[in-house]
Amino acid sequence: MRGFLHPAVRPVASDAQSKFRGLQRGRRTKLARAANTTLVKADQWARGDVVGADVSEALESAFAASAKKKK
């Protein structure tokens, strides 16, 4: 019964991360390439897992740039 004295810690995804998860695989791949990373690391970032700060900053900026183009 490990951890029964305190509640489970769950990663809280930001708005950009949850929207990134909702995109189709092709779009996620395109954004990952724009951020110079792999789709695996991009999906880990979207889940709220631990990734490097440079990867997360690059993905956030690539996602923000694609959102600006969409509108």
Domains of the chain: which residue ranges?
24-70
For residue 13, name the pLDDT band (cuts at 50, 70, 90).
confident
What pLDDT is recorded for position 68?
78
Whether 49 contacts 56, CB under 8 Å? no
Q: What is the rounded CA–CA span in Å between residue 22 and residue 12?
A: 16
Is the pLDDT higher at 6 or at 39?
Answer: 39
What is the per-residue pLDDT across 20-67, written as a single tens digit (0 to 9) for each? 999 999 999 999 999 999 999 999 999 988 899 999 999 999 989 987
Q: Which of 66, 68, 69 is nearest to 26 (CA)?
A: 66
